[in-house]
Amino acid sequence: MTHQFPPGFLWGAGTSAYQIEGSLDADGRGESVWDVFARRAGAVEGGGDGSRACDSYRRWAEDVDLVAELGLGAYRFSVGWSRVMPDGRGRIEQRGLDHYERFVDALLDRGVAPVLTLNHWDMPQALMADGGWAARSSVDAFAEYTAAVADRLADRVEWWITQNEPWIIALLGYQLGLHAPGVRDLGASVAAGHHVLLAHGAGADVLRAHPGTQVGAALSLFPCDPATFTEQDAAAAWGSDGYVNRWYLDPLAGRGYPADMREHYERALGRPLTEIRDGDEAAIGGRSDFLGVNYYTRRVMAAAEPAPGRPFPWRVVGPSGDVARTDEGWEIAPASFRDLLIRLHREYQLPVVVTENGGVFGDTPAHDGRVHDVRRSAFLRDHVEALGQALAAGADVRGYLHWSLLDNFEWALGYRPRFGLVHVDYVTGRRTIKDSARLYARIARTGALPADDEPIAPFG
């Protein structure tokens, strides 16, 4: 089945500052938590860091040209908080803002809508003196930073994402310590996740003083399915849904935190959630013009007794049988993507922008110089088809931003995983448009999936 997407639908791709920019000491930039974390022995696979990445802070014009060449109508990028406020608060570094202003203007000159993310995990290290996101002072710091960026760019940028993946910040950054800042404390993770949502509300209030802005947060959402048809596994899947999805969706939608998950946290911590104060939930809800959805795969859950390192009565067991997987081992599940979008429409009634969707496929240039990433092309087709099915079922989806434009620094996994539509040679910086990008350019140009046997013309 071929779907014709509506006029004005945003087709684009995304990146984030620390993953592509490099030039960590340029134009007065301060240290971020990822600079410090990457220096820990064993923190990043292969010992890499973001000091060079894709060299995009210097080669930004080349990347803008790539977006234009692919005919994409939107480009999601993040502003480096440490470039704008090197000390986390107070002093504003104008050279950093000058850079992003040039970048935004170049996108607009090419007819590309900027989709600006304010926090894509690279909090200034200076804010860790108070505890980073685990400290309530982070909310005011984020509001200051938002005001600095908005005062310069809100007259030209319509689409704003305050926070990227609050659950991942809380889980990997503050509970498991696998991401910056490397904290391992369940209570700190609860506080951090809550303050990230409070900061979304505070940032949205700042942005709404600028007419014409559209504000949302981007959530990493994982449909949670039971491993078996037993009541126990069904309860485990619902609990996992509360942990991963509803704990963030419900307060953003104005419903407050879900009671069942609050009970799970209080039981695991042995105390009330004093981090959540009177009025906090009201300061989070009703401040989203759209919901950003980052979708990669689903979670298959089974009941399990809590144990050290597993504070809740469920565990991820994965799908049974032989399923299609990315090179990172994640199940490829486009039907779950479709069902998620339909669920969000029915249960939350917020317009959606798919802010990330992609997979790890390690294809590199072949003898002819091209990257024949057949599996990414199939992944893209299947997920765009699922998106079309969700739209046909009534889901209010305004855009799809593939992750990512470029192969890049993949956080604790270093430079091994390749998510890009464009291959990057990390030694030379050379960009090579992959076959999947040629397919995606056709989709963006026509607003429809081409037939499976329709040849996709090369560029140039």
Active site members: 165, 356
How far is 293 from 351, CA to CA, in rounded Å? 10
> What SS3 state is found at 38?
helix
Work out the number of other CB atoms within 10 angstroms of the CB of residue 427.
Answer: 7
Both tokens of residue 267? 């039981």
Q: State the DSSP code for 173.
A: I
- Largest Cα separation within the chain, whole Å, is 63
Instruction: Strand 224-226: give its sheet, edge to edge.
Output: 224-226, 299-303, 314-316
Both tokens of residue 172? 């990997």
CB 213 within 8 A of CB 193: no
Strand ranges in 20-104 using DSSP code E only, listed in sequence order = 74-78
Instruction: Evaluate the CA torsion angle 275, 279, 284, 285 in order and state its sign.
Output: positive
Work out the number of other CB atoms within 10 angstroms of the CB of residue 133.
Answer: 32
How far is 182 from 456, CA to CA, in rounded Å? 44
Rounded to a whole number of angstroms, the distance between the first and last alpha carbons of the chain is 31
313 phi and psi angles, rounded to 5 deg: -85, 55
Q: How many CA atoms lie within 13 A of 21 on its CB side?
A: 24
Element containing residue 431 per DSSP (H, E): strand 431-433
**What residues does 114 pair with on adjacent strands?**
75
Element containing residue 402 per DSSP (H, E): strand 397-403
